[in-house]
């Protein structure tokens, strides 16, 4: 069995001091760096939004961050402006190893957000990650990164749906945990056969 590590969105804007900081977000860097050499392939995902992206609250007059709206593809949480292309906030954390095999950029289409490393939030537009993994003969994935209850969970659920064996290393993840979103995400992942490692 060939196994890949998927490192999800360990970027400055999701770390302390960033525009959409995940509590303890920088704490995942050291464990992720230590894990990398154990895998046959390492893929990093990178949130990569154009300015004025439709998921930004600032693009919707009268709306505030963390409110929700309905988009053509479903309910969308509105976020603070974050991970804008070419800004330091979109850069990977300075201490993160980026010598992996592939970087997948997502969320660059102005009118649809992208949590998963596999599909945009319309659940139809692929990022190309699945094809890359299939061509490498990879059948098992371990996920780490930010945030457990959004981009990590969506990536894990899509991977399981696509038939990969999926493990989420919770010791190398941190969550936003908005209105019970972490507990809901963990339950959802387990119900779809995702293995949760180091569960606290």
Catalytic residue among 106, 113, 158, 173: 106
pLDDT computed for residue 76 by the predictor? 94
pLDDT computed for residue 200 by the predictor? 45
For 110-146, how does the pLDDT look when each residue is reduced to its tens digit (9 = 90+)?
Answer: 999 999 999 999 999 999 999 999 999 999 999 999 9
Known active-site residue 151: yes
Tokens (6 digits) for 96: 């993160």
Q: Are strands 102-106 and 74-77 parallel, antiparallel or unpaired?
A: unpaired
- In the block, tokens 């969308």 appear at 76
Residues sharing a CB contact under 8 Å with residue 142, sequence separation 6 or more, in sequence order? 3, 4, 5, 6, 35, 39, 166, 167, 168, 169, 197
pLDDT computed for residue 198 by the predictor? 82
Catalytic residue among 47, 81, 113, 151: 151
pLDDT computed for residue 1 by the predictor? 64
Known active-site residue 106: yes
Cis check: omega of the bond before 147, within 30 degrees of 0: yes
Known active-site residue 95: no
Which residue ranges of the chain lie beneath pLDDT 70? 1, 199-200
């Amino acid at each position: 069995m060939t196994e890949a590590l998927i490192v999800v969105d360990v970027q400055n804007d999701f770390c302390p001091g960033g525009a959409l900081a995940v509590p303890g977000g920088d704490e995942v860097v050291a464990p992720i760096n230590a894990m990398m050499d154990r895998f046959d392939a390492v893929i990093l995902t990178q949130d990569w939004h154009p300015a004025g992206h439709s998921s930004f609250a600032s693009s919707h007059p009268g709306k505030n961050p963390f409110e929700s709206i309905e988009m053509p593809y479903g309910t969308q949480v509105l976020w603070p402006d974050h991970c804008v292309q070419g800004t330091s906030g979109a850069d990977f954390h300075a201490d993160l190893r980026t010598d992996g095999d592939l970087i997948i950029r997502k969320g660059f289409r102005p009118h649809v957000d992208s949590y998963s490393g596999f599909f945009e939030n319309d659940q139809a537009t692929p990022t190309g990650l699945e094809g890359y993994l299939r061509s490498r003969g990879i059948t098992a994935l371990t996920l780490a990164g930010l945030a457990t209850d959004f981009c990590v969970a969506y990536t894990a659920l899509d991977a399981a749906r696509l038939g990969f064996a999926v493990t989420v290393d919770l010791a190398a993840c941190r969550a936003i945990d908005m209105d019970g979103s972490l507990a809901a995400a963990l339950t959802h992942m387990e119900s779809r056969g995702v293995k949760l490692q180091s569960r606290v």
